[in-house]
Chain A
Amino acid sequence: MRLSLTVNGEARVLELDPRTTLLDMLREHLRLTGSKKGCDHGQCGACTVLVEGRRLYSCLSLAVMHEGEAVTTIEGIGGKDALHPMQRAFLRHDGFQCGYCTPGQICSAIAVLEEMAAGRPSHATEDLEAAPPLTDAELRERMSGNLCRCAAYPNIIAAIREVAGA
């Protein structure tokens, strides 16, 4: 099937088997190997990317369902020459050890701060009608869809807090 979409600001046209997941499209067809395959079943978060600005697991989505949409992967968020503030904060706070989960963590963290700025509640939000506070409990709950086998969690939270200015 023919598929047109935008990846990291670049228009792409591909010919794909409909079975191709968004993750496999990125990694195998576009050679964007920043997004990682941890579990391939929606259980770890390593494959997290942004689609139309929203974070999702690219392993549980079919590429052909994203016709015309804009996808941002870690490669589009920043690189060696122009690091995103979240990437810099992860470096400064040692927000990783092996680094396998990190692209997913960073994509997710950027979206988490946007979701909080938009006032979206979480399981940790005590007052559902108020703006959620920038607490560790909120950040931990919101980042629970990104596992880290190296357990860099405290440093990940520290990095996100720094970017949030809290």
Chain B
Amino acid sequence: MRPFTYERAESPEQAARAAAETPGARFIAGGTNLIDLMKHGIETPPHLIDVTRIGLDRIEETAEGGLRIGAMVRNADLAADMRVRRDYPVLARALLAGASGQLRNKATTGGNLLQRTRCLYFYDGITPCNKRRPGSGCAAIGGVNRMHVIVGASDHCIATHPSDMAVALSALDARVETVNGGGATRTIALADFYRLPGDRPEQETVLAPGELITAVTLPAPVEGAQLYRKVRDRASYAFALVSIAAIIRREGRAIAEARLAFGGIAPKPWRVEAAEAALTGSDGGRAAADAAADAILADAEGRGENDFKLPLLRRVLATVLGEAMAR
């Protein structure tokens, strides 16, 4: 690991100010992604700002009837919160489908959003990778790409965003609150938070350097069945090949409103309005599921090893809809 200096911040404002004052400084929260990448020499911050003791570790009810989740709330605690289990089960399910008990005890809401891709070439530190070394190329295109995206790619990067939590937050229309070094705060819809790779795959979000995530807010609970289905290479402790967060509200035998977010297939949590519209008014059966899948896969492209994700997505979507309609 490259040497670095360390400080422990005492408030969000102080943490953001410290980040603004020290070029290249990084926040460290759970550390479960950052320390790993530092050991690999992929992240080399000269200065770390420990944000685990700045507060922001509470889940509070908002005036609008939703929840405000502090950025330091641990993934395990968020999944165990009874309000989340009752009113936002898709979020609890997504969190519990991710990582392991030990990791969830440490991983934070903010850190989870900003975890980086698990692309093997990004991790190996030597092969061409535009995300790790801008301009060097992308070894995954034409290489080992079983885990990679089928939608949202560019010629510069085909890596997935690995978070399960973010997929559920996307279906829930969550918002991200931040503060910068000058003390200015802003709120960003999760839909606008992540960037597509384009020709700058190293820029993964709209956050400015040193901007601190302070909270994630959820709107008031919505009605309907909430499901999270994750397909992976082993039953637990593995990243998604395809995952779906679904919120399906029925009126009688018909779908009145559908929200679908996908993981494992795109550089960010993936929502497709046309797919949700295709389901509205339908019976959620095989034909409706196929129409929705057609909308999602319209511009999808397999890269060889990950071709299986196209039919897999179709089948998982049909299964999830079947379960939602049976509830």
Contacts and interface: CB of A to CB of B under 8 A. Distances in A.
Contacts of B32: 42, 57, 60
B321 interface: no
A128 B89 contact: yes
Given A61-B106, A128-B89, A128-B92, A145 B76 contact: no
A115 B105 CA distance: 11
Contacts of A64: 6, 50
A144 B237 contact: yes
A145 B82 contact: no
A124 to B, nearest CB: 9
Nearest to B80: A120
Contact of B28 (A42, A57, A65, A120): A65
B295 to A, nearest CB: 29
Given A121-B79, A123-B236, A141-B236, A57 B4 contact: no
A19 B80 CA distance: 32
B85 A121 contact: yes
B274 interface: no
B3 interface: yes
Interface stretch (A6-14, A48-56, A87-95): A48-56
Contact of A41 (B6, B36, B82): B36
Contacts of B50: 64-65
Given A62-B28, A67-B8, A129 B97 contact: no
Nearest to B86: A129
Interface string B141-170: 000000000000000000000000000000
Given A61-B31, A123-B96, A129-B85, A111 B101 contact: yes
A18 B92 contact: no
Contact of B102 (A55, A119, A141): A55
B92 A56 contact: no
A55 B105 contact: yes
B323 to A, nearest CB: 13
Interface in A114-165: 115, 118-123, 125, 128-129, 140-146
Interface of A is mostly: loop
Interface string B78-96: 0110100110010011001
A5 to B, nearest CB: 13
B35 interface: yes
Nearest to A130: B85
Interface in B9-28: 28
A62 B35 contact: yes
Contacts of B76: 54, 120
Interface in B36-70: 36, 39, 48, 50, 52
A19 B82 CA distance: 37
B1 A145 contact: no
Contact of A145 (B35, B36, B100): B100
Given A123-B96, A128-B92, A19 B1 contact: yes
Contacts of B101: 55, 108, 111-112, 115, 122, 142-145
A60 B48 contact: no
Interface string A3-27: 0000000000000011101000000
A34 interface: no
B103 interface: yes
A94 B28 CA distance: 40
Most-contacted residue by chain A among B4, B31, B100, B103 (CB, 10 A): B100
Contacts of B35: 21, 60-62
A103 interface: no
A48 B102 contact: yes
Given A18-B6, A129-B82, A57 B236 contact: no
A1 interface: yes
A11 to B, nearest CB: 20
A54 B103 CA distance: 11
A38 to B, nearest CB: 13
12 contacts: A18-B4, A19-B3, A41-B39, A42-B102, A54-B105, A57-B106, A60-B31, A62-B6, A65-B31, A128-B92, A144-B101, A145-B103
Closest 7 CB pairs of A and B: A145-B100, A144-B236, A18-B6, A128-B85, A120-B80, A123-B96, A144-B237
Interface of B: 1, 3-6, 8, 28, 31-32, 35-36, 39, 48, 50, 52, 76, 79-80, 82, 85-86, 89, 92-93, 96-97, 99-103, 105-106, 235-237
